[in-house]
Every structure is written in C-alpha cells, then in structure tokens.
Amino acid sequence: MTDRTRIVIGTRKSRLALAQSEMVAAAIRAAAPRLDVTLHPIVTQGDIKLDKPLPQIGGKGLFTWELEQALLAGQIDLAVHSAKDLPTDNPSGLDILCVPARAPVADVLVTRAGLTIFDLPLGARIGTSSQRRQMQLAELRPGLRFADIRGNIDTRVNKALAGQYDAVVLAQAGLLRAGMLSPQGSITLDSAKVQAGGTILPVTQILPAPGQAALAIQGRADDAWLRSVLAPVNDPVTAACLQAERAMLQALHLDCHMPFAALCESVPQGYAMRTWLADPRSGRSLRIQAAASTTDQLVAELLQRIEQAGGRELLEGCRQSPD
C-alpha cells in the first residue's frame, strides 16, 4: 500500500481479536496522531472449522493464513496475532515488526462457583483441547476428565455456565483484554451480566504455551517506514523473550500436536526460561529451566539440558504416537 497517512490493521472477527487489535491501533494513534489507523476484520478457517481439535484440521496456521495472504496482497498493512497462534516460520516476505508489552501469562480455571482446581470433585469434566493444559492439570490434580472444546472465549465460558463442563481453562490475558475478568476474579458476559468465577492457575503449577499473552504484529519485511512507526509500541524485553520461546519450538521441531510449555522472563543477570515437555502416550514429562546473560545462550543451554535429560527421545516417541 502506498498511502503513508493511513494504516490498515487486519484482524480476526472474534471479540478477543478485535479488542487486541484495537489496543494496538490505539497505541499507534498515540505514538503517531497524524495517522488514520483502521481495522479490517477477516474471517479465518480457524474461526469457521469448530467441530474438530486444531491438530486434526491443520494447526495454528488456520488462524493466520488469510491474514498473511491479505498482507502479501497489500490489502492490509499489519496483522495482529496472538503470538501463541503464530507458526514459527514467517511466510517469505513477512516478518514480526513489533511485539508490545506482554499481559499476565497465567491460565485461568473458569467455573460457575469460582472453584479452585483442588475443589473440583473426582471425575470433574474439564473443557480444554490443549494437551499442554490437560497433562499439567492431570499431574497437579489426578482424577479429572478432559474433553475437547472449541469456540471463542464467550462460547467457552457459556458452556461452563450451562453445565456442559464442570470447568473450562482460558488464558488470563484474553479474559483481561476482552474486559471479561475483574480484579476480584468474576467473569462477566456482556449485557446479560451473567457471571462465572475465575481462579488463576499460577505458572509454578501450569506453565503457559510459548508466546502466551504476547501479541505479534506482523507486516511486510521490507516496510522500513512501518517499523519506525511501530518502534514506540515495541517492548524490547517482551520481543526478546518471545523470540527465545519461538526459537525453542523451532529447534525442537515442535508443532501443536505436541505438549510443550515455555516461559522466558527478564532477570537481573539476563534472561531465564522454564520449559515443560511431555509424551502423551507414556505420560512422562520433564521440567527443565536455565538462565543466561543472552537469549541465544539461554536457548543453547536449555537445549543441552533437555538433551541430557532425555527430552529428544521423549519428543521422538510423541511424534511416532498414532493419531
């Protein structure tokens, strides 16, 4: 696009995606008030195909392909993605131009009565399609049952309220950005004012997905002007941590079939990262952590420790497991 007074941001149509994209648009307007920043909603295959778990129908790319094609065609200038939904390889010609400051990274257990994971009865049915969440919750609280669930965050909360699940698990960042989670932990659904209870699952118990709570603003790789416009919106620490988490996914050749968690954080000496990986067949899991002065050193150290702990053999067994 040649009009340098206007920026068009591509976004999915869900409540959360629109809220996240409007946050980015507001930040750009604050940094560059002369620019006209507008949203362009786009429906993705991930929004349409809701009857099966993501790994069975194509994985993370189902939420990004249409947005990336619109970028490549020049129909939009930027696309706002939940970083955890973005495949590790950018299509040729595209790049992550900006990563704003990260929101709280924890998961939230949503129930009608605001129960904790330890309050749930044996056999309670938990709605989550994420093997990362399922296996870590099972380690924390044996005796739960898990069932796949798809749909936007409103739909998932409604299913818990309707009794289709005893609880559902959602990202704290999404609930906050959509304006659904209060500081007291109540979750409100639009004008109906129907409330559920949300209980934070600390990262010491349930480690988040790589990229969780971070936004990745994708654009054309050669658009130096947009990079400069976005510079005040970019958070260098979040960007470095996201790059390290994505580097782990890439180095271990992981995809959405495989349960893996990672959280990189800034520490006084540089960066620290905690990881969790597991084999759904055997139930075996590993928790590996490390710290280093740079993210490159951190990733190298973690990969070495995972190797020494037998992590690659564990992942290979996971890859060979039948669907």
* Active site residues per annotation: 85
Beta bridge partners of 96: 218
Q: 3-state SS of the chain: helix, strand, coil percent to 5?
A: 35, 25, 40
**Spatial separation of the C-alpha atoms in residues 309 and 274, rounded to whole Å:** 14
Structure tokens at 185: 């932990």
Phi, psi of 191 (to 5 degrees): -70, -20
Structure tokens at 66: 């249409």
- DSSP calls for 221-277: TT-HHHHHHHTTT--HHHHHHHHHHHHHHHHTT--TTS-EEEEEEEETTEEEEEEEE
Q: Contact at 8 Å (CB) between 295 and 310? A: no
The structure tokens 């118990």 sit at 205
**Strand order from edge to edge, sheet including 215-220:** 36-41, 6-11, 78-82, 215-220, 94-98
Q: Contact at 8 Å (CB) between 262 and 207? A: yes
Residue whose C-alpha is closest to residue 167's, from 137, 199, 208, 125 = 125
Residue whose C-alpha is closest to residue 292's, from 273, 276, 311, 275 = 273
Q: Are strands 36-41 and 270-278 parallel, antiparallel or unpaired?
A: unpaired
